[in-house]
Amino acid sequence: MNLVLFDAGELAAPLPLADPRAQHVLKVLRRAPGDTFVAGLVDGPLGEATLLAVGADALTLAFTPTRQPPALPPVTLLVGLPRPQTARDLLRDATTLGVSAIHFVVTERADPNYAAATLWPSGEWRRHVLAGAAQACDTRLPAIHWKEDLENALANLPAGTQRLALDNYEASVRLADALAVPPGQATTLAFGPERGWGPADRTVLRAAGFTLCSLGERVLRLETAVTAALALTHGLSRAAG
């Protein structure tokens, strides 16, 4: 945890000792009253928190904002709804790498039962997004969606977005060659579910202006493909800048 994140208003009350953030401050950061640590408000400023007191049941903290974080990269992910554990990894790692939105969509080969997993209606998904943001030392969180089907998600994409779909079997170009990412260029990267895109999915994607791309000859796990594609996209964007 490189950044201790708080929702707006949380610092107005003591932080219970049972809260993992309190344990992190005391046992990992080893802070004592009067010490400071890096903190931030979700979707707000970064700054410095001061541990004022350690009580029997809670910590008393003060927060001083120092700067606003940069905007999130203009990259949107469309991901065929995966198994809950894979979704947890993607929520954390894609947030760490930096995206503006993640749409987990029902596709031809996605298991629709995954949308009913407790990860989503319970709100557990947000915990993994927060972990990814804390790792990246960023306060901004991507927008997360999980109830759309592929066609509706594509219909709601903004105009002017570079559209690239990863597909091992019908790709016409490598992702590195397809990317055209000058600074500020919005990009949507689409990934099939763990069973891959189906024929109907490919038809819908092509009709929506997506180019089918690959990361090479090897077949990757979904979470590995997302990480590799994001790293490549961000790296080429910085190089272009």
Task: Kindly state whether residues 149 and 122 are assigned to the same domain.
Answer: yes
Q: Which domain holds residue 156?
A: 75-240
Question: Of 13, 46, 67, which residue constitutes the final position of a domain?
Answer: 67
Supply the pLDDT for residue 146: 92
Question: Of 50, 67, 84, which residue constitutes the final position of a domain?
Answer: 67
Q: What is the three-state SS of 70-124?
A: CCCCCEEEEEECCCHHHHHHHHHHHHHHCCCEEEEEECCCCCHHHHHCCCCCCCH
Closest CA to 179 of 226, 219, 127, 215: 215
* Percent of all residues in the chain with a pLDDT value above 90, rounded to a whole number: 81
User: Any idea what the CATH number is for the domain that residue 156 is in?
Assistant: 3.40.1280.10
Task: Kindly state whether residues 29 and 112 are assigned to the same domain.
Answer: no
Closest CA to 124 of 84, 78, 80: 84
Closest CA to 23 of 47, 44, 54: 54
Q: Is the pTM above the cut of 0.95?
A: no
Task: Kindly state whether residues 218 and 100 are assigned to the same domain.
Answer: yes
* pLDDT mean over 54-81: 96
Supply the pLDDT for residue 60: 96
Q: What is the pLDDT of residues 195-241, one digit of tens each?
A: 999 999 999 999 999 999 999 888 899 999 999 999 999 887 655 54
pLDDT category at 179 given cuts 50, 70, 90 is: confident
Question: Of 51, 67, 83, which residue constitutes the final position of a domain?
Answer: 67
C-alpha dist (Å) from residue 137 to 18, 46, 113: 23, 9, 34
Q: What is the pLDDT of residues 122-148, one digit of tens each?
A: 999 999 999 999 999 999 999 999 988
Q: Report which of residues 185 and 162 the model is more confident about.
A: 162
Task: Kindly state whether residues 42 and 88 are assigned to the same domain.
Answer: no
pLDDT category at 26 given cuts 50, 70, 90 is: very high
pLDDT category at 63 given cuts 50, 70, 90 is: very high
Supply the pLDDT for residue 236: 76
pLDDT at 49 over 90: yes
One DSSP character per residue, 168-182 reads TTT--EEHHHH----
Supply the pLDDT for residue 40: 97
Task: Kindly state whether residues 231 and 186 are assigned to the same domain.
Answer: yes
What's the total number of domains in the chain?
Answer: 2
User: Any idea what the CATH number is for the domain that residue 56 is in?
Assistant: 2.40.240.20
Task: Kindly state whether residues 114 and 191 are assigned to the same domain.
Answer: yes
* pLDDT mean over 42-61: 97
pLDDT at 183 over 90: no
pLDDT at 32 over 90: yes
